[in-house]
Structure 1
C-alpha cells in the first residue's frame, strides 16, 4: 500500500504523520518512549500506515529525539513533562485525527512514558476505540511531575486495552503492575488483554535492547498480536 509521510503542524504543535495515500477511516495516535519521534517510532508509524491506518505521532520533547539528542539528555527532560500539558497536546492531536484528517475512529498506542499517557488519555477521552500500552511507566511512589494516578484513573477507560509487561522490569514493580491489571480488569466495559514476558526488561520493544535475546524474542512475539488487535479495532 502506498503511504504518505510528513511532519505536520497542528496548531502550535509539530507531529509526524504517516497515512495511506488519500487517507483512511482508521486512525492511531502514537505516544513515543524516551526516544521521541526517532527513527524507530517513525518506522512503526509507517508500518501502521501501510496496513491502512492513519497515524499521528506526538512530539514529546518538541523537536528533540534520538535523531539529534543523546538518550541521557532526553532522560533529563523527563522530569520537565507535565501531565496536564501533555494530555492537552495529545487531545489536540486526537481532535485533528478525528477532524481534519477524516478518521472515523482512532485508538492510541504508547511505549514506556507514552504507554502511561495512553492509559491516562483513554481514561479522560472516551472517543478512543482502543488502547495499546507497551511496558507503561507507572511508578510508585509517583514522581513529583506525575500529578495523575494512572492506576486509579484506569478504571474509567471504556475501550479495549492491550497492555504488555516485562517480568524483569526494574522501573515498574510487580506489585504496581498487579494493581494496574486489577484496575483494568475491574472495568464493567472494555476488554483487557495482558501480555506477560518472563525475563524481558523494561523497554523491551526498543530495538536498542534487542541485543539481549529475551527482549528481542518478547517483541517478536508481542508485535504480531498488537497488529491483530489493531486490525480488530478497524472492524
Structure 2
C-alpha cells in the first residue's frame, strides 16, 4: 500500500499524489497518468503492481485544478457523465506542467536517476505530450485520445515513446489513426503497436472492452520497454 504526498505546482499551489515505494526500497521512477476517472482504485492498484515489480511509482492528481481527490469508476452512467465533464474542462497544457513537476519530484527518488511515464486514454495523450515537452526518459501511451493537433510535436521527443493503439477505438477514428501512424512512422524514438479488433480501453481490467490477450501483450511490451529505457 502506498501513501499520499504533496507536490508543488510550477505556477503555485500544491496537489496530491499517490506514492508507492518499490519493493526492496528503491527502484527506477515511474509516473502513472490517470484516465478520466481520477486517481481511483484502479490507478492505485496499478501503482502497487508496478511497485511490486521494483519501480518507485507516483500518480499525480491531475484534476486538482477542477476538483481535488476525484475517485470515480467506469461502472455507472453518473460516473461517466462526471468523467466527461472533467475531461471537457481539463487544461492539457497545465496537466503536462503538473506532470513535469511530478517528474522533478520523483527523479530524486529514482535508483537510476531516470523516470518513465505510463498513461491511459486521457493519460495516453498526456504521455505523448510529456515525451515531447518534458525531460522524461521514456513514456508509454495506451490508446491516447485527441492527438491529431499535437502530432507535429513528435519531433521534440527527447527520450523514447511506446504507443499502444486500438484498431477499433471508438474515440480515435481510422482517419486519426492513419495520421498518428504516418506522423510517427519514421521517428526512431517511437515504437508503435496496433491491436487488431480491440476497442478503446482494451487494457483496463474489469472494463467493458477488456481483452485479456491483447492487454497481456501490451503490458509485456511495456515492461520490456521500461527495463530497456529507465532500469
**SS of alignment partner, residue 91 of structure 1:** helix
Q: Does residue 1:9 correspond to 2:17, yes or no? A: no
Q: Write out per-residue CA displacement over residues 19-58 of structure 1, whole angstroms, 9 at most, x where no aligned residue.
A: 1257424111110111211111111111111111111112
**SS of alignment partner, residue 2 of structure 2:** strand
Q: Write out per-residue CA displacement over residues 112-161 of structure 1, whole angstroms, 9 at most, x where no aligned residue.
A: 10010111111011x21211000001255xxxxxxxx3211122112221
Aligned residue in 1 for 2:200? 202
Distance 2:177 2:159 in 1: 19
Distance 1:163 1:182 in 2: 13
Aligned residue in 2 for 1:222? 218
8 A contact 2:33–2:60 mirrored in 1: yes
Distance 2:20 2:84 in 1: 26
Distance 1:13 1:46 in 2: 20
Unaligned runs of 5+ in 2: 9-13
Aligned residue in 1 for 2:130? 121
Q: Does residue 1:64 correspond to 2:56, yes or no? A: no
Q: Which moved more, 1:89-98 or 1:24-33?
A: 24-33
1:178 CA drift (Å): 2.3
- Listed as ranges, the matches of 1:157-176 within 5 Å are 157-176=157-176
1:162 CA drift (Å): 1.2
Q: Does residue 1:233 correspond to 2:229, yes or no? A: yes
Distance 1:199 1:232 in 2: 28
Equivalent residues, number: 218
2:191 to 190, 193, 201: 193
8 A contact 2:116–2:230 mirrored in 1: no
Using structure 2 for the length normalisation, give the TM-score.
0.85
Unaligned runs of 5+ in 1: 141-148
Distance 1:184 1:97 in 2: 29
Aligned residue in 1 for 2:98? 89
1:223 CA drift (Å): 1.2
1:109 CA drift (Å): 0.8
8 A contact 1:25–1:105 mirrored in 2: no
Using structure 1 for the length normalisation, give the TM-score.
0.84
